[in-house]
Each structure stands twice: as C-alpha cells, then as structure tokens.
Chain A
C-alpha cells in the first residue's frame, strides 16, 4: 500500500510501493530514487523540473540560432549563412523559441506551482501529466533531428502554403516540422485538459475561483486558449501533411486551391497562441509585484477579468496577421477594430500593476527588476502593436523588421522577462537555495540593455525598409548618412551578444548557486500565496494538511492580522512557524498516485508513429501497435498501486476516495 504515515520533517520520505497485479511479466515500477525515478515519475513537481530543464536547453538552442542570424546580418553581403541555411535558421529559431522553450517553460511553472497555489497534492491526471512531458520531449527531438537528417524546416515559423508544399520545400524539413509540432500539440492539448480539471476540481476547501492567485488564473485562461485553438492548427498540419506526403492538393493553386486557407487555419490558432505565450508571464509578475511592493495586487478582479477577456477576444483578431494578403476592405476593417479592442484589457493590467507598486515599499530584488522590466518592455511592445492594429499603417509595417521589433519586445521583454522573474522568485522553493542576487543584477542589466540594443533599432530598420527573412543586405540598399541599415544592423547584432552575456550570467548563477549557494528559508520573500506554506522543496505530498482557505492571499493573512481600528498589519506568525504548525497537525493516510512507465511507452510509440509518415508505413505500424498496446496497459493499470486511491480530504474530515481513470 502506498501509505505515507505521519510524515516526518524529512524532505522526501521514500515510499516503498509493492507492485500491483501486472500484465504477465510486466510489473509496476517501484523506483523512487535515482535516474530511473525520473522516467516513471508522475509527481507534478518532478515533471515541472524536467519541463524546465529541457525548455532551458531549447532556449539556448534557439538563442544560438538567433546569434547566427545576427552574425549574418551584422555586415553587408554576409557570408556566414547561405540563403537556404538562413531560411532554416530563422524558421527553427522561431519554432524552437515558441514551441520548445516558451510554452514548455510556462508548463514547467504551471506544473510545479499551480497545484501548490490551489492547495492540492497533484494534478487531476498525474499519468497524463507525465505523458504530456514525454510527448513534448519526443516532439522537440523529432523537430531538431531534422537538422541532421536532410535539413530543417525552411518555410518560416508560420509555414505559409504553398511555399511549404512539396514543390517549393522539397526536403524533409517541413515534414519533421509537421510531425514534431503535431506531437508537441497533443502534449499541450492533454496538458490543458489536465490543468483545467485540476483548477476546477482540486482547489483546497474554501478556495473559490476569486480567491485563487492570479498566476493560477492566467494559467487557467491559457489552458482554455490551448484546448480550443490547438485543434485548428491540427487541421492545418494534417492538410499540409496530406499534401506533402500523400499527394493531396489542398494548397496547390493550379488545382484551384486558395493559399488563404492555410493562413486562416494557422492564425486562428496562431493568435490565441501569442496570448498563450504572454499570459503566464503576466501571471508570474502579478505574484512578484505585490510581494516586493509589500502591497496586495491592485484591482484583483480587474486583473482576473481582463485576463479572461484577453483570452476570449483573442479568438477574434487573427486576421490582423493577414492585412496585406488580399482579404478585402471589409474583413480588414473588422479585424482592425477587434485588434484595437484587445489593447484595452491589456492596458487595464498595466495600470493595475503600476498602482500595485504605487505607495508600496519596493524591494528591488532581481525578481522585482525583471517584473518591472516586463511592465516597461511590454508597454513598448504593446505600443508598436497598437500601430499595427491600424490597418493602413500595418500595410507599411508588415513583413518588415518593425514587426520583428514588436513581437520581440512583447515576447522577450514580456514573456522572457516574466519567466526570469519567476526563476529568481521561485528558485528557493524548488531547489532550496536562493540564486545569487549580485549575479542576478548583472544578469538583468545585461539582458535589458542587450535586449533594447538588439530590438530597438529594428523599429527603425523596418521603417527604413528592411524586410523580414531577408538573408542578406547590401550597401546599396543600406541608405546613406550615419543611420543606415549598416549602422542599425551592427548595433542590433552587438546588442544580441550583450544579451547572450546576460543569459550566460544566469547560467553561471545556476551553477554557482548549486555549488555554493546558502540554504534558503521556506519563505524568503515574505510572500502571499499558498505555495510558500511548504518546505524547501515541498514534500512529495506537498501539504502535511490540506489548507482551509478563508482569504485571497491566504498565506499572507495567516502571517499578518489587520487591526480594524488603525488598519495596520501586525505579524502574528512567520512562514516557518506556520509550516511547523502544519507538520504538527499532519494528516495520516495520505495516498499519492504511483509511478508508471506507460506514459514513456506511449510517447515513444507516438514518436515512432509520426516518423513513419516520413520513413514508411512499416514504421507507422510498429508505432501504432506500441500505442495500442500501451493504451491498453495504461487503462488496465490502476492509477495508484493496489486498491488505495488518490485522496483529498472532504469537508467533514473523512478522507474520501478518488479513482482517476487516467
């Protein structure tokens, strides 16, 4: 029986799991330590760490790809990359950053902290959670394998057809892109269903939706965006795959096809996708800013509802990516207006963040620096975005570097800064040590200066006429005087290397902290939300006692009481004392879901199935059979070894049993 009796203060009690009934010779995995443990884990915290590590790796891969681009464009007549290689480089840079870094890194944070923030012990479907991670890894590997197997995809990250069809992109690169993204897409779809059910069903008693932390809310909105937008790109990818691999003519103009079909299908997914990218960052800083301003978030309901509005309206603006495609004036006007509308809820957030800081006692930790950096950088990016919403001006800007500037300000200055804020904020909780603040400062300043030097000039370059995706520029096109293509491209390229040094500082920080960092207290920042009511790192079962929630910012309200007369806060408990209190009142008979190797098996099967599209039907059959048998194995395996089920306590104190099917 997988029972943890009277949890001790040890960090990770080892659990001995006796294997349940097995299918023939296949026994349930029992590993709880060592590297094998990671292969079969269903613990959301471990899965979160794996997501984070792999995403960081892909961040570096994508960054190197970007540096190649900047090297090529630093000087006229660049010879570092051929046209063909350049196409692959910008395609893979974007694809990697969006799908293999940003989304999985957000998933890392969501996986680790969402259950903790809502007072749960894990997610609703732990094995599916593991499957999502292994599918992501499979998709990422397949995508990047293309570099070594005939060339990477070269059609740009939005892969417009018919350019991405078999005639104009004959190598297998696009096929790898299709398969890799389909698989990663399945991972995200499964993950989105998992997290929505988790938020709906596994909140601690007393935690109504409007008492949830903003990070949890933003992740919830993101999951809704994913669950409803991913199927659309699935259709697009399937149609393209049928054309490339089976001779269909969906995007063959000579047969009567309309290239706009691809554009619509891609952007109906693609626009919600950019909100998928930014909202987690918004969520992170909505935790960081109040903590380091020593003030509650200003206008919590407005921040929540504006997040939900962005999600909803985000489904109605996609054709603003198509203003120059020949849609016609009516369509363009409609989408122009809807795009302007979506600036409003975003603006609401910016004001709420500023008002959170106003009058607060600001502590400029590194996490806070990045959070403030997001507010400033994202506003700049948002302003250029507003200029895009005006269709006539967008017609000048589209497919130039002005657009590249816009989305890098919102993505790098917005999303990446948000993620880095999260790293510095939550590192002590996950790894038990605080990242070095001095190095953090170097990290931040190099990143912010580097970022602005890299992407700032791109606004000017775009307006000067430098198109996107142009593999080389010549002196003749560069203009005259001091501020030419040459000048700004050089500034931008130098900026990109300054940016890289900033990232390097972060990596050095990680290593130095691991080696010499001091142990962190459980609540180093005097934070406000429930994930801090745990040890460093949290125990396997997260909470010794599932908290009963009475307030928004429950953890804060347990530490501080407000004097009704004077409205001053006095501290009545520390984080550490609260955690000790929980330990003293720990629950007995906490049942956790057991490890399983089926997620890994299924992910491998799906990967092989996908490769079969490129390499032949026999391989598809092998993959398909693995998937079929793996599914049966999964379904027949109880989610927890033996009859014990995953439990959360009920209101009346009796423990009830939940038997998740998956």
Chain B
C-alpha cells in the first residue's frame, strides 16, 4: 500500500486514486451517465408534453390527477434524498452501522414512493386510464413508468449496498460506493422534481 505521506497530499479524491485529473474513474463515469439520462428523460417528457392534450378516449389529465396524494409521495421522495446524503456522510465518517441505517431508511422511503405510484396507477386504471387508452395515457404511463423503474432499480441498489456492507464484501472504496449510489438516487429525485411540476402541477 502507498505510504501515508503520498496519501495525505492526494486527498482530492477520497478513494486514493491516481489519475490525470485527480478525480475518481467511477465518479466521472456516473456523472457522464447522469448527463446522458437527462436526454433520456427529456425525450419522454417532451413526448408527454406533445401528447398530453390528445385524449381520444378516457379521462383528461385534469380529471384524473390527485394532486394532494402525489404531493405527499413527492415529499417522501424528496426526504429520501436527505436520508441518502446522511448515509453518504456516515460512510465518509466510516460509520458502517449508521451508513446501513440511513441506506435502509432511504430504501424504505423509495419503496413507499413506489407503493404510492402503484396505488396511483391502479386507481387511474380503474378510473378508465389504461396504457393504450389514449396518447395522453400512453405518454403518462411511459414517462412515470420509466421513472418508477429507475426508482425501483435504485431501491435494489440501496438494499444490495446495505447487504454488501454488512457482509463486508465491498470491492473498492466503501464511501465512494455509497456516494455513487447516492448520485444515482438524487438524480432520480430531481427527475421527479421536474415531472411533478411539469406533469402534475401545470395543467394542460
């Protein structure tokens, strides 16, 4: 292992990497990935914006959205970002038990959000908004569905990270792993910040 002297001068990236930029490979990769995801969700959001008024059949957006309910689940997701940050700071402090605690809480909040989405989708479906009912419905379900899948993958990653930390099988820098999962999780949150405003709060 490298000696502490060289480590101390290289604190720019916690993981102790040496690279041309001084930055971590994994972090660069994650930010690039998130940059590209902006274009993915942008496409789905644009499709929705184009088609939200095209209701050949079934309910209109204004008839179907339950703003109070969605506000609560939006709040839940937002708070999960806070618990995620607390998990990251715990990991940076090398406090494994705190880290796994906050990771679990974040996963629970995320699962609650997903539960809310499932409830919302089933309610909409019962009220006549199926996937293929209209362009509005297809666009709505595609966009929020994609987001929901991203959240679900995030929940799996949070739980998996918790398990891997508990079993002490982390390959690589533990704090960085948590940080990377955190970046993904926050991204999923900011996409929802956009979706909540553009899709729910601003009526067509």
Contacts and interface: CB of A to CB of B under 8 A. Distances in A.
Bound pair (A, B): yes
Given A255-B134, A659-B171, A239 B47 contact: yes
A650 B6 contact: yes
A660 B32 contact: no
Contacts of B6: 650, 652, 654, 656
B39 A232 contact: yes
Contacts of B54: 255-257
A231 B177 contact: no
B39 A238 contact: no
B33 A193 contact: yes
Interface stretch (B15-23, B61-69, B87-95, B112-120): B15-23
A201 interface: yes
Interface stretch (A5-13, A609-617, A636-644): A636-644
B173 A197 contact: no
Contacts of A229: 39
A655 B1 CA distance: 9
B35 A227 contact: yes
A602 B20 CA distance: 31
B29 A235 contact: no
Nearest to A257: B135
Interface stretch (A243-251, A489-497, A530-538): A243-251
Nearest to A243: B138
Given A656-B6, A660-B26, A257 B51 contact: yes
A235 B43 contact: yes
Interface string B140-163: 001000100000000000001000
Interface residues of A, number: 54
Contacts of B37: 231
Contacts of A234: 40, 43
Contacts of B19: 200-202, 658
A188 B23 CA distance: 23
Contacts of B29: 124-125, 193-194, 197, 662
Nearest to A256: B54
Given A203-B20, A258-B50, A656-B16, A246 B132 contact: yes
Contact of B36 (A203, A227, A638): A227
- Residue among A192, A193, A229 facing the most chain B CB atoms (10 A cut-off): A193
A228 interface: yes
Task: Assign chain B's interface to a size class.
Answer: 35 or more
Contacts of A228: 35-36, 39
Contact of B172 (A125, A258, A659): A659
A346 to B, nearest CB: 25
B28 interface: yes
B39 A261 contact: no
A205 to B, nearest CB: 8
B7 to A, nearest CB: 9
B19 to A, nearest CB: 4
Given A231-B43, A656-B6, A661-B177, A261 B50 contact: yes
Contact of B142 (A124, A193, A248, A261): A248
A196 interface: yes
Nearest to B133: A249
A246 B131 contact: yes
A453 B135 CA distance: 48
B197 interface: no
A662 B134 contact: no
Contacts of A657: 1-2, 16
A1 to B, nearest CB: 14
A281 B39 CA distance: 27
B32 A661 contact: no
B13 to A, nearest CB: 10
A116 interface: no
A11 B120 CA distance: 63
A193 B23 contact: no
Given A231-B37, A231-B39, A636-B169, A661 B138 contact: no
Nearest to B163: A632
B168 to A, nearest CB: 12
Contact of B32 (A193, A235, A249, A656): A193
A258 B135 CA distance: 10
B25 A201 contact: yes
A265 interface: yes
A247 B20 contact: no
Given A248-B142, A635-B164, A661-B180, A197 B47 contact: no
Given A200-B28, A656-B16, A658-B19, 11 more contacts: A231-B43, A234-B40, A242-B142, A255-B134, A257-B135, A265-B47, A657-B2, A658-B25, A659-B173, A661-B180, A662-B26
24 contacts: A193-B33, A197-B28, A197-B32, A201-B19, A201-B23, A203-B20, A229-B39, A231-B40, A232-B39, A234-B43, A235-B44, A238-B142, A248-B138, A249-B134, A249-B135, A250-B135, A255-B135, A256-B51, A265-B43, A638-B171, A657-B2, A658-B18, A660-B172, A661-B180
Interface of B: 1-3, 6, 10, 15-21, 23, 25-26, 28-29, 32-33, 35-37, 39-40, 43-44, 47, 50-51, 54, 56, 131-132, 134-135, 138-139, 142, 146, 160, 164, 169, 171-173, 176-177, 180
List the 10 closest A-B pairs by CB distance, nearest first: A235-B43, A201-B19, A231-B40, A256-B54, A231-B39, A248-B138, A247-B132, A656-B18, A659-B172, A203-B20
